[in-house]
Amino acid sequence: MFLIVIGLSACGGGGDSGSTPPSTATNTAPQAALAVLGNVAPAVDTPLRLDASASRDADGDLLTYAWALVQRPAGSQAVLADAASALATLVPDVAGDYRVELMVSDGAGHSTVEPLTLQAGAGNRLVTLNHGTFELLYDCDAHTALRYGYTLAVDTGSAARPTTFTLGDPQLPSGCGQQLSAASYASVSTGWDRGHLVPANHMDASDALIAETFHMTNIVPQRSAFNQGLWADAETIAECHRDLAPVQVAGGVVYDDTANDLFLASHGIRTPDWFWMTLVTTEPGSGATRVIAWLFPNAVGLGALDDYIVSVNTLEGRVGANRVGLSILAADLKLTKPSASWVSPPDCNPG
């Protein structure tokens, strides 16, 4: 974590030396604190979290935040997401220098942090693992898939779910690293599942295909309650709508906090902090395009599925437009945020 703290004193007024001025409260300017969660030399297309939550005001005033991206490399389209909140996100999309500035205000005095330069580089070795029906964007150095994608057509299979997780994905190129073990994460810390990115149930057309989802390249540490709860609910929506029209599914994980990295020694993988999923399909009859996106923390006690719906535009700000991979989606659809998750057909049997 990289931390900058700057405080500016509020100006006080002078009085007539010949008289006693009335007593007035002195407002102290807030103290701004800017923390970079993660590496200050981030990789292209890797979300970088900027945290101002440690900022303080001696008077107890309510603080407001204003982040600004004051410089970016030529050709970059990067923007700051959540620029008016204590926690902003920058996703560098081109290698080079990015300069950000934070202003914290209490409504009277102001505290300003000088621009901070972040240098984005090429990052780890990324490869595409093509399993025919689905693809994984895989980080050879971090031993994790970062994105997955596939299209669901009418469900025609019901292959049995395997019971064994495996190393040695045959699609891994030479020199590309993988997890150290296929053992359960729960054997290291209770409450964690071997969470699928591409769901087994979406790939049950044959025994061979469903087995490919059990390679550890498709598996990450996931909170059990989340994996078996809201994440499964989102997967079921895709499964049920595939029989109405083809569904384009994409999703992935974001790593932005080291505090929960419990499995580095045992498995050689960090713990994802966020999971995201997008579904794109068409309305039966009209053929109009529909899209929905969710962004979930990898946590317990999450509540309702609808609480995690976001627009694609918001998701791109948090994850990166290149990583989301929906560049051909119309701008108005990217701004759309459904008020509720799609209702599955009453006759759906997601088996």
Q: What is the pLDDT of residues 73-101, one digit of tens each?
A: 999 999 999 999 999 999 998 888 899 99
Weakest-pLDDT range from 29-33, 127-131, 152-156, 164-168: 29-33
Domains of the chain, residue spans? 35-120, 126-335
Nearest to 66 by CA among 115, 98, 11, 104: 104
Q: Is the model's pLDDT at 13 over the cut of 50?
A: no
Q: Helix, strand, or coil here: 112?
A: strand
Q: Which two tokens stand for residue 135?
A: 């693809």
Please give the pLDDT value at position 25: 62
What CATH topology corresponds to 126-335?
Extracellular Endonuclease; Chain A (3.40.570)
Which amino acid is residue 327, in one-letter code? S
Could you give the residue ranges of the DSSP H alpha helices within the chain? 207-212, 224-227, 230-241, 264-267, 312-319, 321-324, 331-335
Q: Helix, strand, or coil here: 202?
A: helix
Q: Which two tokens stand for residue 224?
A: 């059990």
| Equal fold, 35-120 vs 126-335 | no
Q: Helix, strand, or coil here: 242?
A: coil
CB 67 within 8 A of CB 104: no
* Residue 68 DSSP label: E
Helix (H) or strand (E) holding 311, with range, is none
Give the mean model confidence (pLDDT) for residues 116-142.
Answer: 90
Q: Which two tokens stand for residue 47?
A: 């979300």
Give the rounded percent of residues in the chain with a pLDDT score beyond 90: 69
260 assigned to a ligand binding site: no
Weakest-pLDDT range from 25-29, 117-121, 127-131, 248-252: 25-29
Q: Which two tokens stand for residue 350?
A: 């997601």
The radius of gyration of the chain from alpha carbons, rounded to an integer in Å, stands at: 24
Please give the pLDDT value at position 11: 37
Better-predicted residue by pLDDT, 2 or 336: 336
Residues carrying an active site annotation: 196
Please give the pLDDT value at position 19: 55
Please give the pLDDT value at position 142: 93
Please give the pLDDT value at position 41: 62
End-to-end Cα, the chain, rounded Å: 45
Q: Is the model's pLDDT at 27 over the cut of 80?
A: no
Per-residue pLDDT tens for 135-191? 999 999 999 999 999 999 999 888 999 999 999 999 999 999 999 999 999 999 999
Please give the pLDDT value at position 278: 98
| Residue 122 burial class via C-beta count within 10 angstroms: exposed 0-12, middle 13-18, buried 19 and up | exposed
Residue 7 — very low, low, confident or very high, per pLDDT cuts 50/70/90?
very low
DSSP string, 146-195: EEEEEEE-S----PPPPS--BS--TTPPTT----S--S-GGGTSTTEEEE
Q: How far apart are CA 82 and CA 233, in angstroms?
A: 27
Q: How far apart are CA 305 and CA 234, in angstroms?
A: 8
Q: Is the model's pLDDT at 2 over the cut of 50?
A: no
Q: How far apart are CA 88 and CA 50, in angstroms?
A: 5
CATH number for 35-120 (one of 2.30.29.30, 2.60.40.1180, 3.20.20.70, 2.60.40.10): it is: 2.60.40.10
